[in-house]
Amino acid sequence: MLVIPISSNLYKVVKEIVQNKRMIFVTGIPGVGKSLLIQQMALIASEAGREVHLLRYNLARRPFETEVNISKYPEIDGVTDPAIRKAVGLWARQAVQEWHEKHPVPNQLLIGELPLIGNRLIELVEPTDDAAETVLTSEQTLFVVPVPSWEVREVIETTRARTIADPQNEQEKLDAPPNVLQLMWQEVNRLARQIGLTKASPQTPYNPYIYGGVFEALLQHRPTKLLLIDQVLRPSRSVYDLAVLAGTLVPSAKEANQTMSQVESQYSYAELAELVQNWHALITDNPKPPDAGPELRLPLPDTLPGSPEETVLTAVQRTALQAIINLPLDVAPDTLIQALDEALETLEVETAVSLANVHKFDVYDSYFNVSRTSEQSGLAFLHGLLLAYRNVMADLQKPPLTLTVIELPLLRIALETSLRQFDI
């Protein structure tokens, strides 16, 4: 059943993708809506007259889990052995290439689900000198990352707890439980810190901007689209119910045996364990560290204790500051800069040092040598904060874009949480 409203922008985007691409790979950690998006893509594609084939990790690994292989490479606490994970990945890369050759008709569509995390089908995003690379980098291929908003992610976690307790489909029994969803998010956040994408706390809750940034980095060698899911979709049936499929890619027993033999001859067990441990080598071995920006919340300087409670703001000032908070995170830079200018004009604070050349916005340096008096310390802080942020925004709009901020929305959140300390 189609649950994406046909009047929504999400429907328009998904429809355009399934009508124009030959291969679509939906990737991300558990609990971001991959399976539901795949189901909806398949339904929309089928309605458009396309024959849909499916590649899914949990289905592809089953032929590898023979009695012989499991005796050598047993699951531990429900976790698939590194040897089997590697074999599934090697087979999948070859299977994608073979599907491309065997299904040349334009109405054929392959949709794949790639968890990536923990070395699950990571081979499909790693650049390799083989025939599959041409297919995987083609304009007819797209790697899609569903990025749920905070609200949608919360609903997904609640729903997962229910489906784990009462599964409606055999595949739901294999879904990661809520505690694993949290562990997977923490792994992503750890990666973000490791590559310099964020300075957010290791304990920070799910954040769509950090999450999207990490997967965008992982997919740097692939045509990629981050797809914001900002509305709750409630399927009436299991997200794994797919009656419209023309076929599913799974290895034959012979293919599984051949690939396992390849893995055993090519890798030692220690090497396989290292591959799983270092599944993110694509971004961590050769990271391109960005300027990570500030912590999510900008604390008040030590010199301003009690300032929010002591600061008296006029109605005009409060209205101007609230206007900044009310702007959407993806507002056009010119509109945001205009709102900042209007708020700065209402503050009318005298400072001992000109802030015109302050082009940094972090926890310490952006308190900007502002001259603070006992009467105006809070106003001086707000004035300096807004002006430094305005300069950051202006820098990002002109070449050579020397100030590289990956997490611009996080900067907005940091600004807004600082403003809210003044009860705005």
- Please indicate, yes or no, whether residues 280 and 312 belong to a single structural domain of this protein: no
Residues 152 and 119 in one domain: yes
Q: Do 279 and 384 belong to one domain?
A: no
Same domain, 231 and 132: yes
- Residue 370: which domain range? 307-420
- Residue 200 has what pLDDT? 67
Dihedral angle over CA of 355, 359, 362, 363, nearest 10: -20
- Say if 263 falls within a structural domain: yes
What CA–CA distance (Å, rounded) separates 306 from 355?
24
Residue 137 counted as domain residue: yes
> In whole angstroms, how far apart are CA 42 and each of 129, 184, 185?
31, 26, 27
Check: CB of residue 165 under 8 Å from CB of residue 250. no
pLDDT at 96: 97
Specify the number of domains making up the chain. Answer: 2
The C-alpha atoms of residue 52 and residue 111 are separated, in whole angstroms, by: 7
Q: Provide the 10 A C-beta neighbour count for residue 89.
A: 24
Query: 351 and 275, same structural domain?
Result: no
Report the predicted TM-score, pTM, of the whole model to 2 decimal places.
0.68
* Residue 94, pLDDT score: 97
**pLDDT given for residue 209 in this prediction:** 79
141 with 246, same domain: the answer is: yes
For the chain (length 424 residues), average pLDDT per consecutive 10?
89 95 95 90 94 95 94 87 96 97 95 94 96 96 92 82 66 66 88 80 80 91 91 74 86 96 95 92 72 45 67 91 88 90 83 45 40 63 80 71 53 80 83
For residue 349, what pLDDT is reported?
65
Do 359 and 249 sit in the same domain of this protein?
Answer: no
369 and 274 share one domain: no
User: Which pLDDT score, from 0 to 100, does residue 353 have?
Assistant: 42
Same domain membership, residue 90 and residue 29: yes
